[in-house]
Amino acid sequence: MDERIDPDACIFCQIVAREAPAHRVFEDEQTLVFMDIFPVTEGHTLLIPKSHCTNLLDARPHELEAVVAHSQRIAHAIRRVIAPDGIGVFQLNGAAAGQTVFHYHMHLIPRMRGEPLALHGRRLGDPERLAETARALAAALEPGAHAALRATRDTR
Ligand code: AMP
Ligand code: ZN
């Protein structure tokens, strides 16, 4: 469970530094939220601390707290925008647990009743669709917002 990588070679650190592209939903000093590029479902979102850590075991507690607090706001935005039957919160630690990017991250995955459970998407998301969903989620972060992007769910 100790798959440490050089932050210079970390794709999520590159996204934080804007050296790699991402469909951003929200950021503040400590936390960045963006769309998973291989979405399991429409609205699949990742939350990360901006400073590099590998997984739950070496993440700094105040950064974990920030991710969890933001996950509640993002979950409300997902509910407003996607209107799923449920939202899965997943966080994998170590390759043996299925972790593939070794910078701590939390997945928020909208779930519909009856769909098979999956943790990783198989297809690259359509960039325009990801951008549209990111914009809709960002707009829905405002209290009382009711952005409607009732999904056509064509990214699965
Ligand atoms: P995990 O298996 O929990 O480590 O999940 C890593 C997630 O990061 C997967 O769901 C990938 O689809 C996603 N991912 C990998 N590279 C990128 C990227 N450049 N932008 C957005 N999501 C990514
Ligand atoms: Zn990193």
Atom from ligand 1 closest to the CA of residue 91: 3
Q: What is the pLDDT of residue 155?
A: 40
User: Is residue 149 in a domain?
Assistant: no
pLDDT tens by residue, 20-49: 999 999 999 999 999 999 999 999 999 999
pLDDT tens by residue, 100-154: 999 999 999 999 999 988 899 999 999 999 999 999 999 999 765 655 555 444 4
How many structural domains compose the chain?
A: 1
Q: What is the pLDDT of residue 144?
A: 59
User: Is residue 124 in a domain?
Assistant: yes
User: Is residue 11 in a domain?
Assistant: yes
Nearest to 84 by CA among 44, 130, 135: 44
User: Is residue 81 in a domain?
Assistant: yes
For ligand 1, which residues put their CB under 6 angstroms from it?
11, 20, 22, 36-38, 46, 92, 98-101, 120-121
105: annotated active-site residue:
yes
Domain span at 121: 7-140
User: Is residue 155 in a domain?
Assistant: no
Q: Is the pLDDT of residue 96 over 70?
A: yes
Could you tell me the CATH number of the domain that includes residue 115? Answer: 3.30.428.10
User: Is residue 2 in a domain?
Assistant: no
User: Is residue 87 in a domain?
Assistant: yes
Token match 């690259």: residue?
Answer: 124
Atom from ligand 1 closest to the CA of residue 102: 4
Q: Which of 52, 70, 105, 107 is catalytic?
A: 105
User: Is residue 38 in a domain?
Assistant: yes
Ligand at shortest distance from the CA of 20: 1
Q: Is the pLDDT of residue 1 over 90?
A: no
